């Protein structure tokens, strides 16, 4: 416990419960996930940059999405691995905690905006193909990416600032494997209700605001695809959209559970599971989802492997 109203200047991450043997097993599993995530998303970025067949808006956005996945995992997983490898609790300074939370939320928000833009791109490609190159030109795509990154980072300045304005005097033990906002608010001696409500509203605007165009776009896309007379045409159209749709379901599902709720301070066990889906599972699946279900990416990978051999 912290003395009187003195605020914590460092936090001890409790991480995962269990024996040292279990921690070593978890370390091996998460290290494998992290390695595959880095390798897979880096391959996507390189392939998109090198192969001219992938020089289109969809793959331009995919390259930035892969970069964001690398950023998200690199913010969270190395700290988690370090805590699993070493005995005892891991300590993070207040500054490191602020930086980790800000970068994690900013990268996640940027990802949401970009995923919404990718859904609109698929809508234009399927429902208005004759004007696709005019609407989704290089100038438009560059501005979409710039706005996504700038909005993602600017929108999280106030929420992180507001979180660390509280006095954390109950304890400095954080029941998580990273500086989770919900668990931080649990340690505050101040009344956090109003701030939690504002954070809830912001989460609704960001997540639902990017989910709405995604849902509307895919409603039109699916209805248009079903009208295509040939089975091969329908299959080709579905193959370009199915990977993105799968990513949307996994990513939005876990984030809706974690952030869109009036009370931010829910049970740590649920937070840890939902956070694992966002920071470990989704970035790990991203390369498989976008390569195994996309014919162009598979062709580009095969050709690159042939050239290497």
Which mean pLDDT values do the consecutive 10-residue runs of the chain (309 residues) have?
Answer: 61 83 90 93 89 86 92 92 82 90 93 89 87 90 95 93 86 85 85 85 84 85 79 67 69 66 58 80 82 72 74
CA dist 159 and 304 (Å) reads 44
Predicted pLDDT of residue 3 = 47
Backbone angles phi, psi at 173, to 5 degrees: -90, 115
CA dist 104 and 215 (Å) reads 25
Predicted pLDDT of residue 61 = 92
Predicted pLDDT of residue 1 = 46
Number of other residues whose CB lies within 10 A of the CB of residue 232: 8
- Characterise 190 by phi-psi region: left (phi > 0), alpha (psi -120 to 50), beta (else): beta
Predicted pLDDT of residue 205 = 86
| Residue 185 burial (10 A CB sphere; 0-12, 13-18, 19+) | buried
Number of other residues whose CB lies within 10 A of the CB of residue 220: 14
How far is residue 292 from each of residues 195, 244, 289, measured CA to CA in Å? 43, 12, 6
Cβ 177 vs Cβ 80: under 8 Å = yes
Question: Helices marked H in 128-230 — which ranges?
Answer: 132-135, 138-154, 157-163, 181-186, 193-203, 209-226
Predicted pLDDT of residue 190 = 83
| Residue 188 burial (10 A CB sphere; 0-12, 13-18, 19+) | buried
Q: Which superfamily does 11-304 belong to?
A: Rhodopsin 7-helix transmembrane proteins (1.20.1070.10)
Number of other residues whose CB lies within 10 A of the CB of residue 247: 22
Predicted pLDDT of residue 105 = 92
Predicted pLDDT of residue 281 = 84
Among the listed residues 254, 284, 285, the one whose alpha carbon sits nearest the alpha carbon of residue 270: 254
Predicted pLDDT of residue 293 = 65
How many angstroms separate the first and last alpha carbons of the chain?
Answer: 61
């Amino acid at each position: 416990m912290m003395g009187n109203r003195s605020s914590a200047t460092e936090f001890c991450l409790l991480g995962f419960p269990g024996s040292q043997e279990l921690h070593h097993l978890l370390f091996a599993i998460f290290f494998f996930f992290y390695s595959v995530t880095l390798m897979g998303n880096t391959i996507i970025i390189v392939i998109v940059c090198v192969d001219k067949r992938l020089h289109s808006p969809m793959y331009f956005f995919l390259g930035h999405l892969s970069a964001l996945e690398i950023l998200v995992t690199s913010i969270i997983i190395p700290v988690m691995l370090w805590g699993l490898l070493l005995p005892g609790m891991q300590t993070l300074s207040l500054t490191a905690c602020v930086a980790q939370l800000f970068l994690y939320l900013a990268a996640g928000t940027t990802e949401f905006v970009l995923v919404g833009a990718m859904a609109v791109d698929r809508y234009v490609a399927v429902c208005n193909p004759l004007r696709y190159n005019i609407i989704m030109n290089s100038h438009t795509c560059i501005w979409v990416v710039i706005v996504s990154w700038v909005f993602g980072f600017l929108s999280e300045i106030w929420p992180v600032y507001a979180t660390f304005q509280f006095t954390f005097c109950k304890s400095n033990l954080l029941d998580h494997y990273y500086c989770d906002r919900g668990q931080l608010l649990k340690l505050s001696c101040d009344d956090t209700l109003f701030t939690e409500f504002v954070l809830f509203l912001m989460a609704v605007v960001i997540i639902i605001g990017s989910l709405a165009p995604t849902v509307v776009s895919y409603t039109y896309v699916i209805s248009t695809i079903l009208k295509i007379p040939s089975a091969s045409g329908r299959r080709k159209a579905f193959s370009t959209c199915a990977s993105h749709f799968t990513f949307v379901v996994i990513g939005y599902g876990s984030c809706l559970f974690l952030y869109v709720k009036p009370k931010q301070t829910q049970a740590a066990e649920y937070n840890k599971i939902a956070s694992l889906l966002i920071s470990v599972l989704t970035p790990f699946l991203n390369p498989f989802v976008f390569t195994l279900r996309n014919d162009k990416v598979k062709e580009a990978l095969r050709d690159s492997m042939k050239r290497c051999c």
